[in-house]
A and B are shown apart, each in its own frame.
Chain A
Amino acid sequence: MKIVVLVKQVPDSGADRNLRSDDNTVDRASASNVINEMDEYAIEEALRLQEAHGGEVVILTVGPDRATESIRKALSMGPDSAVHVVDDALHGSCAVATSKVLAAAIAQQGADLVICGAESTDGRVQVLPHMIAERLGIAALTGARKLTVDGTSLTIERQTDEGYEVVTASTPALVSVWDTINDPRYPSFKGIMAAKKKPLQTLSLGDLGIAAGEVGFDGATSTVVEHSKRPPRQAGNKIDAGDDGGSKLVEYLASEKFV
């Protein structure tokens, strides 16, 4: 089984994140960039499947040159190789266009299974998995908190607001995962050393048969009009509980008409 894992490099959600004032895109140059956290769970799930069933795990990233750091980090966990789609024309791409690029790259790889995080911590848009599946005409099992593979048959538990759904499909398919699905491994020293030598193929838009005008700002289907910093919340009244902290809390609730 050939498994392609989608990995996105994102600005660290634990640090200050900004949009650029010149073109309204995510400021990646001044940010501390990391692997999208949810993608580490996708990598882990792929590696566990490989350990149980054999096959090959390939990392796929669309992003600027500096995303190479995150690709090497991903490889240090254990995947076999990586594909990096990098092209200046991609800057400013919307989700619809990005899904076109990812779908083309996945099709070229000939994956049996695509695993990705349910969402990224920067956009949190959550639409890419179904957009890709729509383009490829394959099953999308999204929002998995558990994945079971039996031959070509896949079963997930899909987290819902009410509980969960058991959903099945056959390969080829795409599975998106939440962070409840496993505990990702830490790269070992050996893994980090090995990652430096693993095959990393770089592709341009041309290699995927996509014209520059279909992506980036020219191909964007939505546009940011303006953005601004939201004023930070101000700290209010802070009291010591003493003996009547609970009563004071309820007094506050009453003053705000919550009780």
Chain B
Amino acid sequence: MAEVLVVVEASQGVAKKVTLEMLTLARTLGDVSAVVLGGSAAALADKLGEFGASKIYAAEGEDLDGYLVAGKATVLAALIQRVSPAAVLLASSQEGKEIAGRVAVKLDNGLLTDVVALDADGVGTQVVFAGSTIVKSKVSKGLPIVTVRPNSLTPTPAPATPSVEQVEVALTDKDKLAKVVERKVEAKGARPELAEASIVVSGGRGVGSADNFKLVEELADLLGGAVGASRAAVDSGFYPHQFQVGQTGKTVSPQLYVALGISGAIQHRAGMQTSKTIIAVNKDAEAPIFELADFGVVGDLFKVVPQAAEEIRKRK
């Protein structure tokens, strides 16, 4: 069977969920090889094997970790030319897309981004225009280079024992123009990452203040979910921008999305419309968010949410 490359996305030495999803998807396309660009492959090997990687290409070193993406793209492009894979999958994250873009230019090859499904013929499905339109497209020049949106499928294990091949990191000065001098982690506690979470609880302008966001966090923690925020809430300074859901923020597609005090402007709907189940709490019965909510509660979120939190605690 043809070889399919999956570019591993990891955070602090742990493979992200989207990586396991890509491995699962790649198994439907061919023999799966994971590509680790930067960081440490050894720490990830067990998990990558568990989800079906029969081979791991490990490209490591300060030249990759210390600079933004250009070097990673150089290594990946060289690997693609050497092994001629049937397809290359990357995460639809900022970095995944950036690497994919550079590789596409280097190889004069097409690419598809934000794919939620990919068939054996390389036809990818994308959901565009704020979730209103479904597009099927394919790469028409070169091999399919595809970025996969998190939460597009359920990862399933298929244990394999991967061999590890060290890949040479041969970079030029052009790969080392953007130097990363510091990495700052801003606390999100033990919560899952927004784009990958199965449950997201978001707050909007109706939450009223940064302090009141504790209520949103409390419900998220009780449900084991991530916290999101509408643009209005972020612009008002209630919550940091990296948690913004919407047209100019993250696009999420969780099993459950709970919108608290969010009116549901198109700007917000663009980022959460493909969630499986949507619940809304808003005091305005005419708020557009109710048009897409599977379950809506018209009322004061400062009464509804604490009562719900108490009820969940009782059931635990």
Q: A: which residues have CB within 8 A of B? A: 13-14, 16-19, 24, 37-38, 94-96, 99, 121-131, 133-135, 137-143, 145, 158-170, 173, 178-180, 220-230, 232-233, 235-242, 244-250, 252-254, 256, 258-259
Contact = CB atoms under 8 A, between A and B. Distances in A.
6 contacts: A159-B241, A164-B184, A220-B110, A235-B296, A238-B285, A239-B298
A96 B277 CA distance: 36
Interface string B69-105: 1100100000000000000000001100111111011
A238 B296 contact: yes
User: What is the interface of chain B mostly: helix, strand, loop, or mixed?
Assistant: mixed
B126 to A, nearest CB: 9
A16 B129 CA distance: 8
A249 B295 contact: yes
Contact of B135 (A19, A38, A95, A252): A19
Interface in B129-154: 129-142
Nearest to A238: B296
Contacts, number: 282
Interface in B258-316: 266-267, 270, 273, 277-279, 281, 285, 290-300, 303-312, 315
Nearest to A181: B241
Contact of A248 (B73, B186, B297): B297
Interface residues of B, number: 97
Nearest to B278: A233
B299 A241 contact: yes
A130 B133 contact: no
A139 B178 contact: yes
A161 B188 CA distance: 10
A177 to B, nearest CB: 11
B248 A95 contact: no
Report which residue of A16, A162, A166 has the largest number of chain B beta carbons within 10 angstroms of its beta carbon. Answer: A162
Contact of A226 (B128, B130, B136, B312): B136
Contacts of A239: 295-298
A178 B310 CA distance: 38
Contact of A166 (B69, B181, B186, B251): B181
A14 B315 contact: no
Interface stretch (B34-42, B48-56, B155-163, B191-199): B191-199
B120 interface: no
Interface string B20-61: 000000000000000000000000000000000000000000
A240 B299 contact: yes
Given A130-B69, A131-B101, A142-B94, A13 B247 contact: yes
Nearest to B280: A238
Contacts of B179: 167-169
B94 A160 contact: yes
Contacts of A125: 97, 113-114
B9 to A, nearest CB: 10
Nearest to A233: B292
B112 A221 contact: no
A128 B112 CA distance: 13
B159 to A, nearest CB: 28
Closest 6 pairs between A and B when the two form their complex, measured CB to CB: A241-B299, A246-B307, A221-B110, A127-B101, A139-B177, A163-B186
A123 B130 CA distance: 10
A159 B25 CA distance: 28
Nearest to B130: A13
Given A126-B94, A163-B183, A249 B279 contact: yes
Contacts of B109: 96, 221
Contact of A127 (B70, B104, B300): B104
Given A96-B105, A134-B73, A256-B277, A140 B248 contact: no
Contacts of A254: 315
A224 B135 CA distance: 7
Given A130-B69, A161-B93, A167 B277 contact: no
Contacts of B93: 161
A138 B175 CA distance: 9
Contacts of A180: 234, 241
A152 to B, nearest CB: 13
Contacts of B185: 162-163
A240 B299 CA distance: 6
A125 B153 CA distance: 20
Nearest to A254: B315
B212 interface: no
B19 to A, nearest CB: 14
Given A140-B68, A161-B194, A227 B113 contact: no
Given A163-B185, A163-B242, A242-B299, 13 more contacts: A96-B104, A96-B108, A125-B113, A126-B98, A134-B73, A141-B178, A161-B93, A166-B183, A229-B132, A235-B290, A236-B293, A245-B303, A246-B307
B178 A140 contact: yes
A139 B102 CA distance: 12
Interface string B193-233: 11100010000000000000000000000010000000000
